[in-house]
Amino acid sequence: MDRIILHIDMDAYFASVEQSCNPSLKGKPVIVCGEIAEGRKYARTIVIAASYESKRTGIKTGMPIPEARKLCPSVIIAQCNHDKYISTSLEIHKILLEYTDLVEVFSIDECFMDITRTLKFFNGTVMDLGRQIKSRIYERFGITSTVGIGPNKIIAKLLSKSNKPDGLMQILPEQAADFFSNLRIDKMQGIGIGNRLSGKLNSMGINTATRLGESPLDLLTSCFGITGYRLKQIGQGIDHSPVKKYLEIETVKSVGHSHTLPENTMDTDIIKSYILMLSEKTGARLRQHNFLGKTVSFVIRYSDFSTYMQQHGLKHCIKTGYEIYSNALTVFNRFLPLSKPVRLIGVAVSSLVPDNKQQYLFEIMSKWNTVTSVIDGINQKYGEFTIKPASVLAAEKLFFPDIDIKIKKVL
């Protein structure tokens, strides 16, 4: 029996959520970016997401904010709010789960659904079901979505990607060959073929999905190794992978944050302040999801984009920002003295285990844990970093240079 797979993809998701939350932004060019540094004129900040009104002016994801402003001086900038996007995504999942438990989350704004069995009990066609899902999402959240319907995940995803925005399209198994014959390789991103790979395939004269499927397997494996087998199947529209059940959540392997500095620097006090800020964010996320970790990783990227990562293993588990900071600092010290300016740093914790809320043996640690819990509660209620270490102000000075902060020793 042929499967019926839906791929639901939110349109310009982050920007659409911002427009939905603030109706005055509807129909206007909106871009979402990371931490806002108005005083620095957004020199190092990039576009994370853009509304379709912005995209029509030429603005693209990954573009620096100054460049986006040149293309569209009236563009409205919204600061990224992951909590808001995750919350909306989880509510969308609830709608999808009313139809089937075979809902596989592919990303924050994409899901696969296997509705093969569901359709037997649905009063209508699969296209009717797709329209109903799109309508319910729009009525509830005010954002549009595109739905692709096919016999497997590859075809369903390609259909949604090629019919944006607010699209709905189905392809039956017998129609797949015609669809693939006109599908360019550079339009197959998101299913394992990125810009570099599509460029390489085009240089080999493989410029459509059909040409890829017809290419000799020996040629593909000699050029791309084991990936050649997968490319051959993609070109033939073959995908037997099942849609996982929603509750089959993959185990989280690490939690972390990275940040591109507003400007390259060799000032170790500033870098340490950022390490502390990232450590506090990582610790907050660990505690939010009830994890402890035993390995701290530190990433450093220099001005020439050379990137290095080292880890530090621990004998005991940690979860507070200060513990993470102390160990991240141990790794950072291995890179001193700095040979060139630093562009980006990152902190992560891995070797995760569930936090069973075990009591601390020493009273001072028990009190520190209580203080941390209180701070978490306040920050969750009033916003991230409502309460924060004073040392983080050194990092914030780079974002708000008008603030008179005297930077001394960081911790």
Q: Running DSSP on this structure, what letter comes out for residue 252?
A: P
110 assigned to active site: yes
Q: Note if the bond before 341 is cis, omega within 30 degrees.
A: no
For residue 397, give both structure tokens: 């000075």
Amino acid in the structure at residue 207: N
Write phi, then psi, for 312 (nearest 5 degrees). -135, 115
Give me the catalytic one of 53, 110, 323, 396. 110
Q: How far apart are the first and last CA of the chain?
A: 64
Distance from the Cα of residue 12 to its chain's centroid: 13
Q: What are the residues whose beta carbons fall under 8 Å from the beta carbon of 343, sequence distance 6 or more?
A: 260, 261, 264, 301, 302, 303, 305
Task: Compute the distance between CA of residue 135 and CA of residue 144 in angstroms, rounded to an integer.
Answer: 8
Q: What backbone phi and psi angles, to 5 degrees, belong to 61?
A: -60, 135
Q: Rounded to whole angstroms, what are the CA distances from 301 to 202, 298, 387?
A: 32, 10, 29
Instruction: Kindly report whether the peptide bond that precedes residue 389 is cis, defined as omega within 30 degrees of 0.
Output: no
Sheet holding 110-114, edge to edge: 103-107, 110-114, 5-10, 145-150, 168-170
Which residues are annotated as catalytic? 110
